[in-house]
Structure 1
Amino acid sequence: YISIKDNEARISLRIIDSQDNLRRNDLIKKINFDLENKLKLNKDEFKLTGILILFNNLLQSLFKSQILTLGLVMVGIFAMFVVLFKNIKLSIIGVVPNFIAAFFILGIIGLLGIPLDMMTITIAAITIGIAVDNSIHYIYRFKEEFMKSNDYNKTLKLCHSTVGVAILNTSITIVFGFSILVFSKFIPTIYFGVFTGIAMLLAMISVLTLLPSLLLISKPFGK
């Protein structure tokens, strides 16, 4: 569309939004850069509009809010652990496995080149929120049993054979629950189900391996 009277022109472009290597924000930045540097247009002489722009703005806003949310979740959970256990060392031990699981799943998504969208960006916060229950159950049981035996190794074996089995069964159930989403025809929903399931497995492994190791090394209940 060209209007000689108004000295305006409109150029329409079609973007294949479903292509795997599409990076909306990078594409928009490149178009803006080329208009300013190659065509020598001022910023007030052109404007990018359309569904792609609106969706990209929505995603960028979501990314920022989710990063803030993830930070607040971490601070909030740590504060809850401090109130719950009244022990800074034990609180740090309790949150570390869950945070590591969340960072690992984000790293896996990044390594596979899967773009963050409205579904996948929320996985880390959901993972921490669900998986933190396992840490609380394990630490509580460990504390109770240690008060009886006063032996870290004996307590560890007992916890693994009781609450550890419960954590394993619960996590597997959650993984199967999220795995149902792989039958969806909507790709972001499939990604959400797959990676949330993987995140739950990582959180379970972290709680059953890293958490006990930290308890044995740091000895938060005394020697």
Structure 2
Amino acid sequence: MLVYEYLPNRSLDFFIFDSRLKIIHRDLKASNVLLDAAMNPKISDFGLAKLFGEDQTEGNTYRVVGTYGYMSPEYAMEGLYSTKSDTFSFGVLSLEIVWELWKEGRALDIVDSSTMGGLDSGDEVMMRCIQIGLLCVQESLDDRPTMSNVIFMLENATTLPSPKKPAFILQGKYYDMDTITTGSSTTPSTNHVTLSTLIAR
């Protein structure tokens, strides 16, 4: 197992965001984020990672690997991956963490008062994390923020853009909710229902 640690001297930060090489993890999920004694996250398991050169922005594969719940739609359906694929995975992971805490009645445990960055309350921080998570899981990779923008949004109390309606995937195709609700000729399903009435004797 290979674990990289973030150091203030920009070792990991420089390596991932400012280097001529870009790393696409391709399997960012809860079990691949380890926590140290101080609860600092460490990304692990770079076995499926791909390296991009300075000018490369996306790649393509015929063999999709990783965990489907965390994969971006373009990677799962077409084998296309980019830095925005990891942004999608980060969004799923963020929403998963927020959801678990909310479900257990510990929603405000996500808040670290030393890093609230001018936000007024824990509720505001929680809603901000949800909104950033939703921005990260946008259907179109062009609508997703870069990870450096995500870090900026998490550390600062700037106004966030509104996320678009999510898409959903059905039988090898994915559908945009706006197209379906506006009466497009494409039907997402051909399911039928049969109702039977039972009469007691």
Higher Rg:
1
Shared topology, TM-score over 0.5? no
- TM-score, L = length of structure 2: 0.27
More helix by share: 1
- TM-score, L = length of structure 1: 0.25
